[in-house]
Structure 1
């Protein structure tokens, strides 16, 4: 059997193949982050036929101060749960599994959108407020209740966003984390907030509910986090109870200058896969089913995320699967 077509079971999450649609911000939400008909139609189109085994829905903000953009989706209060149920139901009715990604933008939040000063691990050129210990604890709690909302809305799992220069990525990176307390310095201190978020989320949703983390395992920048840092962190995330590691870039984002070709994060996902036993997702420029198949065969990852190709062509997954049968 094709590697891409093999099923995979993680706790209660039964995946019929190894194909994942990664979270791609659409900016289609309404005012206050409410879910629009346009957003529902978008996910209906992308999940049609159920050819994509797992759809990770784009990041939703856990609190208004952590909102990344005007059109971002909210998961910041209980009033959104009914709307989220509609989204989960559409994806399920088409035959795919659905995971909700939750996020805090940190210093990447825009005061023009939120009306609030951005917060981050450290004060950077006076552009943001440095989080106090109490502020960190409050954000951990916000992630916790957001994860519970995702479960109540019927999603099959929740993904903590710790990549692409958002808040948890900012704590992981020595470039943006200059703290001298328990949350700064060595790798284990810089991921203290990650481990607290993971514990809080699992406490809320239960140990049988799948928890993923999108992890920016390297900044690919001078003075930033390295692959070695990423390996240390990944092992701790597994110990903390994370079920799937979704590997991407840190402060560099999802696209890295100098990294090209299909599966350009493969060296990163392979390094992480070598030190953990939980499934690893690889994304990054993959457009051909044959390449996805090769990456799985060579054990660069356990699951393959295809974003931009599916964004351009909603029938990509159907054609890819047919080509491998």
Structure 2
């Protein structure tokens, strides 16, 4: 059996290989504050401590980067007190937890943020057809976003979480910089892969300085756009190597502009074809998600060495007892 084995590799020690990946609940208050509904939701999911790690849904680092109404906020110091309650609730139930931080970039909407949308380039979102053309970020604005990521990560640590995850997948800002579909810049933040991943390395450096050497930093990587002219797995393999060198402690592999679903791929763990390739480039743990609903599928991916951790999202979302049944059946 593999799913119930401890993970002792790296800074974050876990009692098993099962992860509840970040899934937006839209249960926060109007300004993104933690509500009782949010605490109740995570309390229910973490009961019994059967899930080794729970990744809290993506939370916006600044108003400009808010993706949707009732999205969680990590943008203000005032959020920390209620976030402590959330982390404490999960810890008391026996699971560890990290928080995902994010800027939506061109996936944001002016109607939600009250601000002009921004992105790496003045290119509309390739997976949306609302003709909302973003403003290209200046170098100074990029620096402000990097600083916002660092401040958000410091709040995550102050709130008592076990780590922080930087979101670079699903067509949000950092994945927009990685993808040639949306990054048409000609300065140091664009061009070849070295330029397109520059902001990531600067974010990782700033976050590391904010949280210290011992606090785990994860990065969710949309490792392929599955679109012509988009980010490829070869691009992501090179990026993953650099992210590890920069100080990332775990890579969480998902899709890029395809989001979390890929047309035509129906096998459970469909992103494991990506995680398998990423694992060849790095020594840090690699997590994979992608339509995994059965323990047998999770066991197979781990047994074949395609990932070190398994994210089970929709199955746990639909059935809060999924983890308990899975771990019980393994014994």
Please tell me whether the aligned partners of residues 219 and 252 of structure 2 are also in contact (alpha carbons under 8 angstroms).
yes
Equivalent-residue separation in structure 1 for 2:15 and 2:142 (angstroms) = 38
Q: Which runs of 5+ in 1 are unaligned?
A: none
212, 234, 241: which one aligns with 1:235 = 241
Q: Indicate the SS of the match to 1:93.
A: helix
Q: Partner residue of 1:296? A: 302
Q: Partner residue of 2:67? A: 68
Q: Partner residue of 1:44? A: 43
Q: Indicate the SS of the match to 1:57.
A: strand
Q: How many Å apart are 1:146 and its aligned residue?
A: 0.1
How do 1:211-290 residues align onto structure 2 when only pairs under 5 Å count?
211-290=217-296
- Are 1:151 and 2:150 an aligned pair? no
Q: How many Å apart are 1:55 and its aligned residue?
A: 0.1
Equivalent-residue separation in structure 1 for 2:22 and 2:241 (angstroms) = 23
Equivalent-residue separation in structure 1 for 2:246 and 2:192 (angstroms) = 18
Equivalent-residue separation in structure 2 for 1:12 and 1:282 (angstroms) = 19
Distance 1:273 1:11, change over 3 A: closer
Q: How many Å apart are 1:9 and its aligned residue?
A: 2.7
Q: How many Å apart are 1:12 and its aligned residue?
A: 4.5
Q: Partner residue of 2:166? A: 160
Q: How many Å apart are 1:111 and its aligned residue?
A: 0.7
Please tell me whether the aligned partners of residues 165 and 219 of structure 2 are also in contact (alpha carbons under 8 angstroms).
yes
Q: How many Å apart are 1:11 and its aligned residue?
A: 4.7
Q: CA RMSD in A?
A: 0.9
Please tell me whether the aligned partners of residues 11 and 249 of structure 2 are also in contact (alpha carbons under 8 angstroms).
no
Equivalent-residue separation in structure 2 for 1:10 and 1:136 (angstroms) = 33
Q: Partner residue of 2:128? A: none
Q: How many Å apart are 1:113 and its aligned residue?
A: 1.2
Q: Indicate the SS of the match to 1:228.
A: helix
- Give the TM-score normalised by the residue count of structure 2: 0.97
205, 208, 218: which one aligns with 2:211 = 205
Please tell me whether the aligned partners of residues 6 and 18 of structure 1 are also in contact (alpha carbons under 8 angstroms).
yes
Please tell me whether the aligned partners of residues 10 and 210 of structure 1 are also in contact (alpha carbons under 8 angstroms).
no
Q: How many Å apart are 1:114 and its aligned residue?
A: 1.0
Q: Partner residue of 2:200? A: 194
Please tell me whether the aligned partners of residues 10 and 285 of structure 2 are also in contact (alpha carbons under 8 angstroms).
no
Q: Indicate the SS of the match to 1:74.
A: coil
- Are 1:57 and 2:56 an aligned pair? yes
Please tell me whether the aligned partners of residues 289 and 310 of structure 2 are also in contact (alpha carbons under 8 angstroms).
yes
Q: Partner residue of 1:305? A: 311
Q: Between Structure 1 and Structure 2, how many residues are aligned?
A: 324
Q: Partner residue of 2:14? A: 15
143, 147, 150: which one aligns with 1:137 = 143
Q: Indicate the SS of the match to 2:149.
A: helix
Q: How many Å apart are 1:61 and its aligned residue?
A: 0.1
1:224-282: per-residue Cα shift (whole Å, max 9, x none)?
Answer: 00000010000000000100000001111111112111000011000000111110001
Please tell me whether the aligned partners of residues 65 and 118 of structure 1 are also in contact (alpha carbons under 8 angstroms).
yes
Q: Which runs of 5+ in 2 are unaligned?
A: 125-131
Please tell me whether the aligned partners of residues 4 and 293 of structure 1 are also in contact (alpha carbons under 8 angstroms).
yes
Q: Partner residue of 2:129? A: none
Please tell me whether the aligned partners of residues 21 and 313 of structure 2 are also in contact (alpha carbons under 8 angstroms).
yes
